[in-house]
Structure 1
Amino acid sequence: MRLTAEPAFVLHARPWRETSLLVEVLSADHGRIGLLARGVQGARRHPLKAALQPLQSIRFDAVWRGELARLLNAEAMDVAPRLSGEAALSAFYLNELTLRLAPRQVPQPELFAAYAHARERLRGDDPLGWTLRRFERDLLDALGVGFDLRFDGDGDAIDPAARYRLDPEHGPRRLLSDRGHADRAGAATGRALLSLGEDRLPDAADLASLRRPIREVLAHHLGPRGLKSWEMLAALASVMPAAARGGADDQPGPGPTPS
């Protein structure tokens, strides 16, 4: 099968043999696709190589060859966001999470749209934590394992004043009022869940409360192997105080404690 002028975002590219690249993309019509780009590595700069950088929006032609498709041509559709610091690490996280959880060759137009929105927000003024939480929500929804954040797992309406854990199989579970401080500190506020469900930016404290419960859900679906971006954030947290990181606690990892 031949793919012609297929829109996609580049998630990852790595060398293959001496002159080629293995490229993972999230395409508009066919979901995640592995592409073999032959002859783009070498002494001379190949015109395709610039279009195959992570986060780049492209349009490509390819021919299926078993599990991979052979790339014939690709062109950049815009200028990829120029990011640094926490924004660059957030982009790495989006790509890694999509690469790990999105199945190959399964059309997921909702995920493609969510990625496009998150990519644009990375170069905007929205808090990075809010951009990531929205993408995580949309990714879980696109994979069919998200939650209706208006209700808990028992069908009761979310109480804005309560706190909730997110059970990957059951949904939000309300914490009892006599639970310890550590349990409550690792739970989302009801206000935060309602705001996320309504796509409405919560205040800073409520936004921060979403990070760890959502990460626990993601960890469940990822299995025993975590994400490199979580390890990088844990290392960053160990050497730099939160104030110096510019609020990195709103990012995908809280430091050494998995969430």
Structure 2
Amino acid sequence: MRYTAEPAFVLHARPWRETSLLVEALSERHGRIGLVARGVQGPKRQALRAALQPLQWIRFEAVQTGELARLTAAEAQDAAPRLTGDAMLAGFYLNELTLRLAPRHDPSPELYAAYGRARARLGALSPPAWTLRRYERDLLDALGFGFDWSHDGDGAPIDSAARYRLDPEHGPRRLLSDRGHADRSGAATGRALLALAQDAAPESEDLAGLRRAMRGVLAHHLGPRGLKSWELLSELARVAPRAKPTDSA
């Protein structure tokens, strides 16, 4: 199979052998694709190497002969967002989550569009936490794991004053008022779920609970191996316990 002028976002690139790169890209028409970029480390291939950095939007040419496609050309379509601080961590998380959950060679124009929106929001300095919650919602929907965010798993309308745990298979489950603190700690407010359903930014105090609730759903689909970005955030919190924790990833 030959890919011609295929639009894609670069999710990950790592050195392979002495002069090559192994690249993972989210393409518009073919889903996630693994690419081998040979001979890109020399000084004459600087433009190509720059086009293969994570978060870069490209058009590429490649030939699929096995599990990995051989890259023959790639050109950057814009300037990748230059992220710092929480936005940089959010970009790392965005790519890692997509890389882990998007299956190879499974076209999902919805996921490609959602990634593009999240990338643009991070580049425009939109609040990283809300950008990521919207992307997690859209990613779950695109992969067939999403919910009706305005109703619980039994079809009842979400109550803005209640709290809900997100059951990965069932959807939102309302917590009874006498449930323990441990159960409530991984719950989101109904107000946050309705905000997610309406694509309207929730109150700032609701974002942390929404992040924890969404993480439980994502962990279910990721399996026993979590994300390095989650480990990184935990380590940062451990070595700098007085620093204000981020609610991004």
Q: Same fold by TM-score, threshold 0.5 exceeded?
A: yes
- Map of 2:193 onto structure 1: 193
- Map of 2:41 onto structure 1: 41
- Say yes or no: does 1:97 pair with 2:94: no
Cα shift at 1:42: 4.2
Measure, in 2, the Cα distance between the counterparts of 1:43 and 1:115: 31
Q: Which runs of 5+ in 1 are unaligned?
A: 253-259
- Map of 1:18 onto structure 2: 18
Secondary structure in structure 2 of the residue aligned to 1:47 = helix
Measure, in 1, the Cα distance between the counterparts of 2:150 and 2:85: 35
Secondary structure in structure 2 of the residue aligned to 1:46 = helix
Secondary structure in structure 2 of the residue aligned to 1:14 = strand
Q: Which runs of 4+ in 1 moved over 3 A?
A: 42-46
Give the structure-1-normalised TM-score.
0.93
Measure, in 1, the Cα distance between the counterparts of 2:34 and 2:46: 20
Measure, in 2, the Cα distance between the counterparts of 1:125 and 1:59: 25
Q: Which runs of 5+ in 2 are unaligned?
A: none
Maintained 8 Å contact 1:35/1:70: yes
Partner deviation per Cα, 1:236-259 (whole Å, 9 max, x = no partner): 1112246x34x51x122xxxxxxx
Q: Which AA in structure 1 matches 2:232?
A: M
User: Identity percentage over the alignment?
Assistant: 73
Cα shift at 1:125: 3.8
- Say yes or no: does 1:251 pair with 2:231: no
Maintained 8 Å contact 2:191/2:202: yes
**1:1-259 mapped onto 2 (5 Å cutoff):** 1-42=1-42, 45-241=45-241, 244-245=243-244, 247-248=245-246, 250-252=247-249
Cα shift at 1:47: 2.8
Partner deviation per Cα, 1:2-26 (whole Å, 9 max, x = no partner): 1111100000001111111110000
Measure, in 1, the Cα distance between the counterparts of 2:59 and 2:44: 23
Secondary structure in structure 1 of the residue aligned to 2:35 = strand
Q: 58-67 vs 180-189, which deviates more?
A: 180-189
Q: Which AA in structure 1 matches 2:239?
A: V
Partner deviation per Cα, 1:215-246 (whole Å, 9 max, x = no partner): 0000000000000000000001112246x34x
Partner deviation per Cα, 1:165-212 (whole Å, 9 max, x = no partner): 000001001000111233223210001001001101011011221011
Secondary structure in structure 1 of the residue aligned to 2:148 = coil
Measure, in 2, the Cα distance between the counterparts of 1:165 and 1:44: 54
How many corresponding residue pairs?
249
- Map of 1:256 onto structure 2: none
Cα shift at 1:128: 1.0
Partner deviation per Cα, 1:77-125 (whole Å, 9 max, x = no partner): 0000001111111100000000000000010000000000000111224
Secondary structure in structure 2 of the residue aligned to 1:75 = strand
Secondary structure in structure 2 of the residue aligned to 1:80 = coil
Give the structure-2-normalised TM-score.
0.96
Measure, in 1, the Cα distance between the counterparts of 2:90 and 2:203: 20
Name the Cα RMSD after superposition.
1.3
Q: Which AA in structure 2 matches 1:199?
A: D
Measure, in 1, the Cα distance between the counterparts of 2:199 and 2:109: 19
Maintained 8 Å contact 1:18/1:42: no
Cα shift at 1:45: 4.9
